[in-house]
A and B are shown apart, each in its own frame.
Chain A
Amino acid sequence: MKVATHTFDAVIVGGGGAGLRSAIELAQSGLKVAVLSKVFPTRSHTVSAQGGINAALGNIEPDDWKWHMYDTVVGSDFLGDQDAIEYMCKNAPQSIYELEHMGLPFSRLDNGKIYQRAFGGATREYGKEQAHRTCAAADRTGHAMLHTLYQKNIAAKTHFFNEWFAIDIVKTPAGVAGITAICIETGEIVFIKSRATILATGGAGRIYASTTNAHINTGDGFGMALRAGFPLQDMEFWQFHPTGIYGSGSLISESVRGEGGYLVNKNGERYMERYAPHLKDLSCRDIVSRCSAIEIREGRGAGPKGDYVLLKADHLGPDLIKSRLPGIRELAMTFAGVDPVKEAIPVVPTCHYLMGGIPTNYHAQVLTVNAKGEDQIVEGLYSAGEAACVSVHGANRLGANSLLDLVVFGRAAGLHVRESIDQGLHFNEASESDIEEALARVYRWNGNTKGESVEEIRTALQKAMQDDFGVFRTADAMKQGFVKLEELRDRLNYATIKDKSDCFNTARIEALELDNLMATAIATAHSANVRTESRGAHARYDYPDRDDSNWLKHTIYFDDGRIDFRSVNMKPEGMEPITLKSREEHN
């Protein structure tokens, strides 16, 4: 197929927080930049972030970015790269002030400064008292941020391809040349040629049956990277948020606990006091989720089936709930049928966030591992936000560090692309067959006429992941899950869509998304299976302890099933490294 070519200095795949933040940096510098998004940008999943964004502004009490860094490293269970965490925490205050200047409607303190709330894992002076470090716009911080960033892009006149879907990376023998993409409304397929390509495609929570994630979180960047021969890193680390609404999976923000709410079991016991007497309900998410899972498993869950726990907030009073947690109240009433002003909310640990992703350095440049096992920068390819693994979250992300990650590294990507283009980052010329290769899966879906539906395979995939790769893992369950996934991957080759229309064909888009979900799930399965320890969100019954002598390293997965490893960076550039310690509190 001969397809039209559009040429840009930079193409950004994804119109969420990371993509829009990098676009601002580039559009303001006068470069020709395009954002390609499969939904209108303000429908991206950043919009669902609630609680806030961390930065050591010190608006409530004295704070220090080094304390923030310490919490992030400890929270990551030491798998986070300390040079990247240092960069993020150090640049956090500046990034927040920039957002404020762009117009983000942060909640305010009486003195007019940005309001900051308590959040999980946040401490002062290296592990002492609870810190108030989370900048918030009520409990709609992601919504406020995404809209502000989009608005700033309108002012900067960024070029948008809205409701366009990225199919694959176009690779030439010399390197990355751009992407292929399909217009959802018309079915038109184009090659977008660019010096720099930024993958800001977000997460992939839809590989699980129960998730806080939007329908659109299908790991599109992961599939694209793998098919182009680039690796994914730390794919075993999926965060299960302690408070997804029982049934619907919608998120109830950690801010409820930050504002003083807490979890109880069927006996009304505040069980986190028993597991973690110091930080209690504001322990890291992996810890709280495991405790809830144990409560449920040991028969102390609430409800007719004993399969959820309760998030209590009624003691906070209607005024606080209505002013600080209005969105939560709306969600609880709509999806759980309870008003948190009066009743506890039924919640359950729910798949929420992927710590792993496309490996990058802290300039957001994509990394691969060469034959000698050394890091190698992929010229012209970048990634930021949940799609990337910098890695600032390691084995477990702190609440309110994800909005920070996407702003800081979206910005870093923009800055670095700009610099590289100034220094002569060139176009790679793609041949017709290079482009054809990046269209292969469209031809497959168009050509298949018999076979199972997308829905059948997707549902089976989500069930396998939910059953065999959940909060707690074992070799036996994962082996079973693995067999199911391998079989599903074969079946996927023959699956078919009946809808062959070119007009707003969402069945075709869901099919293309399923390829990406499958790639992501298989990467997760391989990586989880190989890591024989428990660290952060990766918890195994058969290997219950963290094993630093063997496993203080990143898992690298390639599409052909090859597993490699990268060492964890323990060398921040402007301070002493943070040394290994146990995260569990001892009674």
Chain B
Amino acid sequence: MAEEKGMHFSVYRFNPETDAKPYMQDFYVDTKEHNCNMLLDVLLVIKNKMDETLTLRRSCREGVCGSDGMNVNAKNRLACTTHLSALTEPVVIRPLPGLPVIRDLVVDMTQFYDQYNKVKPYLQNDEPAPATERLQSPEERAKLDGLYECILCACCTTSCPSFWWNPDKYLGPAALLQSYRFIADSRDTATEERLADLTDPFSLFRCRGIMNCVDACPKELNPLEAINNIKEKMLEEV
């Protein structure tokens, strides 16, 4: 069959309005003809030329907005920064695991954003602000590297078995990384409260060090290290 020429993709499809249950659909895309280098290029070719009902999120197409996290060949990644050359066929594309599917590759991120909000992800400083900037040494600022770059794509949290088991109680790697981003900030004065909020058996301590988060992060951040740093801070404070 003519349509079977090209690279083979197997894509998760589900529209609750019309489908009783999800199914996998095969697409064959001539990646050369359509000038595709990245997985997102292929998904847009499918949507634009083959089946406009294929549903996904995308925006910046360069790995900074965090829209197009998905599960590709059993690993969570961003479609826009995933080189086709790095994938074996058939390329199996599913929505991020552990969150309810809205349609096709679009998941409901409410739970993920709620976790983010729970760690009070904003700078708190109870001293009056100076007329100019608050000073921070380059060494103090360097402690935020590897933390502030998070793009909230949810690749880490949705790869975490502890999150799958306790999505309502365990905050998950992305939110905990953000929590540490503010604990580590020399300008933030709420460290004590931030740590106190994490002392229950679930919020932080459900992390079992499985390290899926580290493997999944498309920005090469290390949520596990942030989690361990929070634990160390707790010991220091006691």
Contact = CB atoms under 8 A, between A and B. Distances in A.
A48 B65 contact: yes
Given A97-B131, A504-B106, A43 B63 contact: no
Nearest to A39: B59
B28 to A, nearest CB: 19
Interface in A98-144: 100-103, 105-114, 137, 140, 143-144
Given A48-B60, A97-B133, A498-B53, A504 B103 contact: yes
Contacts of A454: 52
B67 A151 contact: no
Which of A44, A93, A499 counts the most chain B CB atoms within 10 A? Answer: A499
A29 interface: no
B55 A504 contact: yes
Which of B37, B55, B62, B141 counts the most chain A CB atoms within 10 A? Answer: B62
B148 A144 contact: yes
A530 interface: no
B187 interface: yes
B102 interface: yes
Contacts of A107: 138, 141
A440 interface: no
A105 B182 CA distance: 10
B60 A45 contact: yes
A144 B145 CA distance: 11
B56 A43 contact: no
B17 A502 contact: yes
Given A151-B121, A504-B103, A497 B65 contact: no
B62 A43 contact: no
A327 B113 CA distance: 25
Interface string B129-148: 10111111110110010001
Given A105-B185, A113-B135, A504-B103, A47 B55 contact: no
A353 to B, nearest CB: 15
A216 B55 contact: no
Contact of B133 (A43, A113, A334, A507): A113
Contacts of A327: 64
Contacts of A506: 47, 55-57
B31 interface: no
B67 A39 contact: yes
B48 interface: yes
Contacts of A140: 64, 149
Given A43-B59, A143-B149, A453 B52 contact: yes
B61 A214 contact: yes
Give the interface SS of chain B, mostly helix, strand, loop or mixed.
loop
A503 interface: yes
B87 interface: no
Contacts of A100: 133-134
A14 to B, nearest CB: 13
A47 B148 contact: no
Contacts of B135: 111-113
A103 B187 contact: yes
Contact of B122 (A48, A97, A155): A155
Contacts of B65: 39, 42-45, 47-48, 214
A486 interface: no
A477 B122 CA distance: 51
B123 interface: yes
B233 interface: no
A148 to B, nearest CB: 8
Given A97-B132, A501-B18, A40 B138 contact: no
A47 B62 CA distance: 11
Which of A45, A48, A454, A506 counts the most chain B CB atoms within 10 A? Answer: A506
B109 interface: yes
Nearest to B135: A112
Contacts of B132: 57, 93, 97, 113
A426 interface: no
B59 A101 contact: no
Nearest to B103: A504
Which of A215, A327, A507 counts the most chain B CB atoms within 10 A? Answer: A215
A42 B151 contact: yes
Interface string B35-66: 00100000000011100110111111111111
Given A103-B185, A154-B122, A504 B59 contact: no
A503 B141 contact: no
A248 B55 CA distance: 22
A88 to B, nearest CB: 19
B73 interface: no
A499 B59 contact: no
Contacts of B66: 42-43
B117 interface: yes
A152 B59 contact: no
A101 B113 CA distance: 24
Contacts of B137: 108, 110, 112
B25 to A, nearest CB: 15
Contacts of B52: 453-455, 497-499, 507
Contacts of B123: 101-103, 148, 151
B152 A42 contact: yes
Interface in B13-40: 15-18, 37
21 contacts: A42-B151, A43-B57, A44-B59, A48-B60, A97-B132, A103-B123, A103-B185, A108-B138, A108-B140, A110-B137, A143-B64, A154-B122, A215-B58, A247-B37, A250-B61, A335-B37, A454-B52, A497-B52, A505-B55, A506-B57, A507-B52
Interface of B: 15-18, 37, 47-49, 52-53, 55-67, 81, 83, 102-104, 106, 109, 113, 117, 120-123, 125, 129, 131-138, 140-141, 144, 148-149, 151-152, 182, 185, 187-188
Given A93-B132, A102-B122, A502-B17, 5 more contacts: A105-B185, A112-B135, A144-B148, A454-B52, A506-B57
Top-9 shortest CB links A-B? A103-B123, A112-B135, A151-B122, A43-B65, A455-B48, A504-B103, A100-B133, A155-B122, A214-B60
